[in-house]
Amino acid sequence: MAYSYSVKNLKQVNKYIYSNTGILLSQVVHLNNIKHAWNNYHGKHAFILRTIPRSGSHYFMNILANYIGFQFFNEKNSLDLLDIKEKFWSGLNPCHNYYDSEKMFRLTGFKNFIFVHVSHDHRFKHFNYYKKNVRGLVNLYRNPLDAIVSSYFRVLNHRNISTMNKKKRKNFINMKVEDYIKQYTSINEMREKKNVINISYENLYLNPLDIMNEVLNFFKIPLSEKNLNKSIQQSNINYIKEKEKNFNNRSFYNSKVSSHIHSGKINQWKKFFSSDEIKRIETQFNKSGISFNEFIFE
């Protein structure tokens, strides 16, 4: 990418980069820093966590951020939860610092750890990580029934209501099914890419050590089972709930709502959906060529 280095067009350079990549270089105040900033944020050195919403993205981020802190930066205790949030560069809020980028690259092979939802990745051309030549990408998804249940309770939480009436519930479920099908189809299309690994939240929840071991090996990040175990223990849901007490029992990711986590448990769908609702949802998936056999429901 060629730049015209003049103070007059610095804003235009930043606008062009952001509109095409999602990379915001607003922190660049001196023109000679543009090239360094671009190289630091460029996708070819990025580790992308790309998720269907409500699929355990923060659980994954907590484990990985803690692991890198313990393993490479001599952290003695788990990272502060607000600090963990800043360790991943969000496509919606493109600004972060993940320790020293040069040291990070030398130790892990990555300069940036980026988190984006599949829906945002498709909606905005400045994301489109699924089209880019990134260093590594994790697609994280959850069985559609539990994903819908989690989304439902998140909406109730944000709106401070206890339930939806029958019509609103039906419309909400239909909308979430349509969204999920589009996003899961995108994940399926990437299965054969060499730098991509697809993970179900159910496997991460049931076997976090094995799954994170697989992730680290896949992306050739040096492994310490001791530090990985410690990272998992200090990223579990009960630990996070306890930490949230320091934030007046509000979500450390969004202080406007109560705990960011509904429960984190699997199989919540069994107590939520009627048999007719499940049949209707499965029919929608079948029409889209997606079988329920592709997901973990138990």
Work out whether strand 112-117 and strand 46-51 pair parallel, antiparallel, or are unpaired.
parallel
The token pair at 100 is: 């020293």
Q: What is the mean predicted confidence (pLDDT) over 45-58?
A: 89
Question: Where are the chain's structural domains?
Answer: 1-41, 44-294
pLDDT tens string 2-29: 444 444 455 666 666 555 554 555 444 4
Residue 8 tokens, joined: 């007059």
Phi and psi (nearest 5°) for 200? -90, 145
Tell me which of 272 and 84 has the higher pLDDT: 272
- The residue-averaged pLDDT of 133-142 equals 91
- Residue 218's φ and ψ, nearest 5 degrees, are -60, -40
Note the pLDDT tens digit of each residue in 84-96: 777 777 655 555 5
Burial 3-24 (b: 16+ CB within 10 A, else e): eeeeeeebeebbeebeeebbbb
Q: Which superfamily does 44-294 belong to?
A: P-loop containing nucleotide triphosphate hydrolases (3.40.50.300)
- In degrees rounded to 5, what are phi and psi of residue 258? -75, -170
Record the tokens describing residue 133, joined without a space.
Answer: 């030549």
- Reported as a pLDDT band with limits 50, 70 and 90, residue 235 is confident
Least confident of 110-114, 117-121, 257-261, 269-273: 257-261
Report the b/e string of 192-219 with b at 16+ CB within 10 A.
eeeebbbbbbbebbeebeebbeebbeeb
Which DSSP state fits 78?
A: P
pLDDT value of position 239:
78
pLDDT of residue 243: 72
Rounded average pLDDT over 112-121: 84
Quote the CA–CA distance of 145 and 235 in Å, as a whole number. Answer: 24
pLDDT value at position 258?
Answer: 57
**What integer best gives the mean pLDDT of the chain?**
81
- pLDDT band at 205; cut points 50, 70, 90: very high
Question: Global pTM?
Answer: 0.82
